[in-house]
Amino acid sequence: MAKKKQEIDEEIKETKETKDKKEQTAEAKEETSDVQAESDDKVSKLEEELKAQKDKYIRLAAEYDNYRKRTANEKLSLYDDATAKAVTELLPVADSVRMALENLAGADPEIVKGVELISNQLDKSFEKLKIEAFGKVGDEFDPNLHNAISKVENEELGENTIAQVFQTGYKIGEKIIRHAMVQVANC
């Protein structure tokens, strides 16, 4: 009987030790899960911070790109405005040269040649400055480009067609320097 009691005591002792080991394992797992949860929280917080920083960086890059494009457009616009203002002062000279060419029908050929050279120089200068002339007979009338100062009925020309040009129009890019003064047919 003493042997049995000793065996039972040993079994109880082993059971207690097993129970203690299980409790220790459970506590260790609990601690590990707590550490894992804390680690997961830290990782998710860091991922959120990284995401926020990336978003800030992307927004800053887009803002800088927009700024760069806007300033480039403003520089081009300033150049076009300055060119347009300077050319506005030269347009009466260009008009006078063109009128002189039109009215030199029976003049000395040397004079005609000289005025043609001046006209060609003006045209080349305007071309270098990217100034375009518009408003020719036969073009379609566009109220955004042309000032209609009279109208005429003409069966040879189509509807809303320019019949006569009194003053040539000029533009630089899409900016109108001076509207063309025209006579419109069949409007």
What pLDDT, on a 0 to 100 scale, did the predictor assign at position 43?
86
Instruction: List C-alpha distances in Å: 40 to 25, 31, 46.
Output: 22, 14, 10
CA-based nearest residue to 159, from 167, 150, 151: 151
Alpha helices in 103-165 (DSSP H): 109-128
Rounded Cα distance, 4 and 39, in Å: 51
Please list the ranges in the chain whose pLDDT falls under 50.
none
What pLDDT, on a 0 to 100 scale, did the predictor assign at position 1?
57
Domains and CATH numbers, the chain: 132-187 (2.30.22.10)
| Interhelix angle 109-128/2-102, nearest 10 degrees | 170
CA-based nearest residue to 92, from 125, 122, 136: 122
For the stretch 138-177, pLDDT in tens is 889 999 999 999 988 887 887 888 999 999 999 998 889 9
Rounded Cα distance, 141 and 174, in Å: 17
